[in-house]
């Protein structure tokens, strides 16, 4: 009886393990069914929401658009240099992600400033160097304030706003947003929680195996 | 059974009397300092005092704090900006002021920082902190 229990336990564990390995991450956001004609037949295709078009500058003044990131898995977040609250914790966590995937050509990290008036290219460049980033795999982006707030909300389901009542003058969510090679959002993780960032890295490994 | 209880009681009395009032006060100060540290300081300097890359200076084994024992309360109160060298690394990100903290709260944090991260018993007592904060302009 005990033996049966043990073997059942083993089978269950193996099933769970194999499920984890083959786990597919969901695609977040809205989806629409689109009809199209292929070889004379009408088929229904599901179109998933993807990151809307954007154009920002990185800390070296290089223009970064959707095209620059296409084909890469990337993680996005929002911060500002003088942030006294959650940003330093998020940056410590992002640094862990950076260090794990350092040199992996398929992974890019982008941190958007939500205070572009203060966080000039020179300051972002200094920040980038001080974080120990090479500036290519982990980039610090800036652009028009409204465009940054807009992509936070519409592209990454995050909040980024100026709010004079908040410490530091801005309010933003501490999410790390995981985006796949086709620029679909596949997960949002709390960048202030070590366990959640561990999960993000596990999910990044799953995405890396995805075609 | 009764004798065991009596022994426990005697040991308890001995433990209690081993701590003087000042020591108990210091323990209280450290406990309060730990809570305040987590709320006001740990975001940047991290819970373990290790700082963050070249952005936020470490407090743990900081040569700057060792050499400037008197300045910590004032830094907590007023913040600090400009270049600062800690353990041979230059930092330049401004630290914001904490004007809402009382002298006592600042004393608790400073005491905790020295005890926890520098392994030094350096109590910022009431009278000491008043003098230092006055010099600091508070």
Q: What is the pLDDT of residues A54-76, one digit of tens each?
A: 999 999 999 999 999 999 999 99
Closest CA–CA distance from residue A130 to any residue of chain B (Å)? 5
Mean pLDDT of chain B, nearest integer: 85
B13 domain residue, yes or no: no
Residue B81 has pLDDT above 90, yes or no: yes
B14 domain residue, yes or no: no
Alpha-carbon distance of B2 to A159, in angstroms, equals 65
Of the candidates B46, B53, B94, which has its C-beta nearest A131's C-beta? B53
B4 domain residue, yes or no: no
Chain A partners within 8 Å of B52 (Cβ):
88, 91-92, 95
B96 domain residue, yes or no: yes
The correct answer on CATH 3.40.30.10 for the domain covering A51-209 is yes
> Are A179 and A189 in contact, with CB atoms under 8 Å apart?
no
Quickly state the pLDDT bin for A112 (edges 50, 70, 90). Answer: very high
Quickly state the pLDDT bin for B112 (edges 50, 70, 90). Answer: very high
Q: Where are the alpha helices (DSSP H) in A132-189?
A: 145-154
A123 touches chain B (CB under 8 A): no
B6 domain residue, yes or no: no
Residue A20 has pLDDT above 70, yes or no: no
Nearest to B116 by CA among B80, B72, B54, B86: B72
| Termini Cα distance of chain B | 59
Our CA dihedral for A142, A143, A144, A148, rounded to 10 degrees, sits at -60
Q: What is the number of structural domains in chain B?
A: 1
CA A211 from chain centre, in angstroms, equals 18
B33 domain residue, yes or no: yes
Domain that holds residue B114: 22-136
The domain locations on chain A are 51-209
The pLDDT tens digits for A164-203 are: 777 777 777 889 999 999 999 999 999 999 999 999 999 9
B109 domain residue, yes or no: yes
B1 touches chain A (CB under 8 A): no
Alpha-carbon distance of A57 to A139, in angstroms, equals 9
CATH of the domain at B92: 1.10.760.10
B48 domain residue, yes or no: yes
Alpha-carbon distance of A15 to A7, in angstroms, equals 12
């Amino acid at each position: 009886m005990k033996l049966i229990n043990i073997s059942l336990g083993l089978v269950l564990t193996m099933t769970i393990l194999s499920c984890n390995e083959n786990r597919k991450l969901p695609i977040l956001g809205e989806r629409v069914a689109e009809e199209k004609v292929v070889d004379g037949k009408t088929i229904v295709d599901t179109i998933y929401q993807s990151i809307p078009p954007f154009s920002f500058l990185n800390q070296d003044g290089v223009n970064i658009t959707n095209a620059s990131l296409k084909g890469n898995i990337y993680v996005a977040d929002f911060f500002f240099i003088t942030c006294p609250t959650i940003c330093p914790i998020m940056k410590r966590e992002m640094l862990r992600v950076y260090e794990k995937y350092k040199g992996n050509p398929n992974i890019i990290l982008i941190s958007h400033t939500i205070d572009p008036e203060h966080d000039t290219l020179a300051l972002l460049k200094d920040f980038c160097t001080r974080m120990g980033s090479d500036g290519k795999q982990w980039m610090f982006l800036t652009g028009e304030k409204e465009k940054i707030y807009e992509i936070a909300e519409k592209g990454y389901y995050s909040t980024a706003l100026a709010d004079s009542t908040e410490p530091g003058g801005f309010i933003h969510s501490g999410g790390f947003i995981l985006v796949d090679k086709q620029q679909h959002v596949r997960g949002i993780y709390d960048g202030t929680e070590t366990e959640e960032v561990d999960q993000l890295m596990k999910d990044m490994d799953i995405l890396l195996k995805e075609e | 059974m009764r004798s065991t209880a009596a022994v426990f009681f005697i040991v308890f009395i001995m433990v209690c009397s081993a701590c003087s009032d000042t020591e108990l006060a210091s323990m209280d100060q450290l406990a309060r300092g730990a809570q305040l540290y987590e709320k006001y300081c740990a975001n940047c300097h991290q819970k373990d005092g290790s700082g963050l890359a070249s952005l936020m200076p470490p407090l743990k084994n900081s040569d700057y704090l060792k050499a400037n024992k008197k300045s910590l309360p004032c830094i907590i109160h007023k913040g600090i900006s400009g270049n600062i060298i800690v353990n041979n690394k230059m930092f330049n990100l401004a630290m914001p002021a904490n004007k809402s903290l009382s002298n006592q709260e600042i004393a608790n944090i400073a005491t905790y920082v020295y005890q926890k991260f520098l392994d030094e018993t350096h109590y910022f007592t009431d009278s000491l902190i008043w003098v230092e904060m006055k010099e600091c302009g508070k």
